[in-house]
Amino acid sequence: MSGIVFQNVTKYYASSESPAVNHVSLTVESGEFVVLLGSSGCGKTTLLKMVNRLYELSEGTILVGGNDNRAVPVNELRRQIGYVIQQSGLFPHMTVEQNVATVPEMLGWDKQKLNKRIDELLELVHLDPKIYRKRYPRQLSGGQQQRVGLARALAADPPYMLMDEPFGAIDTITRASLQDEMLQIQKKLHKTILFVTHDVDEALKLADKIVVMKDGQVIQFDTPLNIIASPKNDFVKELIGGDDLMRQLSLIPARQVMKDADQSMTNAVCGSIAEHVNLKEALALMLKTGNDCILVTDPSGNVAGYVSLKQIREIFS
């Protein structure tokens, strides 16, 4: 399955002299998690909403799965694309199970298949089906509502996901938990995801690649590590913390820089961190233990690689 391709995409609004999106060309590869990052009004949400034609583009072409999205009937297009917004967008008069079932029921799924899918998805987002299936959105916390919104977007197993600041209205602790769950879900499902945020920490934590936008244009499209280590201009540099190296280290998860660890290293190295832990914490543990490297573990506790002082130095050399 092909990804999402933007070819010279431009969007004008009648109320504005300058375009909201200005000649954007980029490719989101199949299975990639790409974050659109920038301040309010930079064009990131407009770009996202043109993919599923909530907004129609003015110029250019958007290919979804190799097809021009304007050539596909809009209902058929949207069935391929899960859509998650801030504050979940759940139907308040429907139970959790009814919300999750919305699209599969439209597609004519039989009851047995649908019930199995509802249970699978609620378990995937860590909501016990026996407890939550019959509840209404008003009976859920904000974080729980957001989990149901994600389950609903995944219900028909769409290959593409659009996420518009889905965790923006959630408290800090719950937000961090949802981000961790999102990473685990993506590792399991390998969806092609476009995710909008203005939160730099969130973008660097979640993304395979980041699109930094300003005034409707793409300023830099790169990996999180390259954006920190090699910002394209002063705007990007200031966005990720200027010359504050410790701040920048706190924004880089160990998984982004770790290298494979052989058995001898696994036996010899003292200390370990989880793959989502940032390099600032990794460096602190190295200094505390006196080691020049540290092991990195996956969510199951298995060794996934290692990070060394040499690697950390190389990021900013």
Read off the pLDDT of residues 194-241 as tens digits, 9 standing for 90 and up.
999 999 989 988 999 999 999 999 999 999 989 988 899 999 999 888
How many whole angstroms separate alpha carbon 281 and alpha carbon 178? 21
Q: What is the pLDDT of residues 24-61, one digit of tens each?
A: 999 999 999 999 999 999 999 999 999 999 999 999 99
Containing 247, the helix (H) or strand (E) segment is helix 245-249
Provide CATH code, domain 254-315. 3.10.580.10
CATH number of the domain at 4-247, out of 3.90.870.40, 3.40.50.10790, 3.40.50.150, 3.40.50.300? 3.40.50.300
255 confidence band (pLDDT: 50, 70, 90): confident
Containing 308, the helix (H) or strand (E) segment is strand 303-308
SS (H, E, C) 162-230: EEECCCCCCCHHHHHHHHHHHHHHHHHHCCEEEEEECCHHHHHHHCCEEEEEECCEEEEEECHHHHHHC
Looking at residue 269, what is its pLDDT? 67
What's the predicted TM-score (pTM) here?
Answer: 0.88
Query: Looking at the chain, which residues constitute the CATH 3.10.580.10 domain(s)?
Result: 254-315
Looking at residue 243, what is its pLDDT? 76
Query: Looking at the chain, which residues constitute the CATH 3.40.50.300 domain(s)?
Result: 4-247
| Interval 170-186 mean pLDDT | 88
Residues 99, 152: contact at Cβ < 8 Å? yes
Over 80: is that where the pLDDT of 3 sits?
Answer: yes
- What proportion of the chain, given as a percentage, has pLDDT over 70? 98
